[in-house]
Amino acid sequence: GENVEQHPSTLSVQEGDSAVIKCTYSDSASNYFPWYKQELGKRPQLIIDIRSNVGEKKDQRIAVTLNKTAKHFSLHITETQPEDSAVYFCAASVWGSQGNLIFGKGTKLSVKP
């Protein structure tokens, strides 16, 4: 089955700096890669997702890149703000109803003002 590895487990940056979180996956059939943000004590919320037919997707200060050959994808947050502090989870699945959505173990991002 699919296995998703995520690193680093913790990341601390200064406000205004960029943050990068990386994930690798094992199943070459996976073609859908969402990222979820979970603030302390709250529900995970989807912040961006990408399908394997594109290599990069941007949404304001957030971008995700995908390298299908190497089976890794990354989340990039630019101009970080204190409200970006949260745990971020990557995930991978096969588009549609096959298999299931496998999450990484999460990265705790702390943005220092």
String of contacts with other proteins for each residue 38-77, x by CB under 8 A = ----xxxxx--x----------------------------
Tokens of 21: 């979180």
Residues 8-37 that bind other proteins (CB under 8 A): 32, 34, 36
The window from 53-61, 63-71, 74-82, 95-103 that contacts other proteins (CB under 8 A) reads 95-103
Determine how β-strand 107-112 pairs with β-strand 10-14. parallel
